[in-house]
């Protein structure tokens, strides 16, 4: 089985903070050009504007359970357009899974 297709959606928070970025990724696993499985990954990134040392410092604080609103972890406020992107991506996943079941 090999992964040949992936789709990514980058979601930025409505508050405008560069530290509030989420990525939703769809992986289509194929065998002989036929989709055999699909996975979805969702994660929130560290602020990309921070240096590697600042990211490491925030990670150390995270490990020791010391959180702060500027550490790169947080909530993401979504507008209608971003909600539609998520719905579209998850609808695609559902459609692929239903097609996989019907092909069995």
Give me the residue spans of the domains in the chain.
2-102
Q: 6-42, pLDDT tens digit by residue?
A: 888 888 888 776 667 888 888 888 888 888 888 898 8
Q: Strands of 2-12's sheet, edge to edge? A: 2-12, 21-31, 34-45
Q: Is 88 helix (H, G, I), strand (E, B) or coil?
A: helix
Contact 2, 29 (CB under 8 A): yes
Task: State the maximum Cα–Cα separation within the chain, in Å, rounded to a whole number.
Answer: 50
Per the structure block, which two tokens stand in for 94?
Answer: 């559902």
Q: How confident is the model at residue 80 (pLDDT cuts 50, 70, 90)?
A: very high
pLDDT at 18: 66
Q: From CA 62, how far away is CA 71, in angstroms rounded?
A: 8
In the predicted model, is pLDDT for residue 47 greater than 70? no
Q: From CA 92, how far away is CA 40, in angstroms rounded?
A: 11
What's the pTM value of the predicted model, to 2 decimals? 0.64
């Amino acid at each position: 089985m090999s992964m040949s297709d992936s789709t990514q959606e980058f979601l930025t928070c409505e508050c405008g903070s560069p530290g509030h970025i989420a990525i939703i990724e769809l992986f289509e696993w194929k065998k002989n050009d036929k989709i055999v499985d699909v996975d979805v990954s969702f994660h929130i990134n560290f602020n990309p504007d921070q240096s590697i040392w600042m990211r490491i410092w925030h990670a150390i604080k995270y490990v020791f359970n010391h959180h702060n609103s500027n550490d790169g972890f947080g909530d993401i406020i979504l507008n209608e357009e971003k909600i539609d992107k998520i719905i579209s991506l998850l609808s695609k996943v559902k459609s692929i899974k239903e097609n996989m079941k019907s092909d069995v």
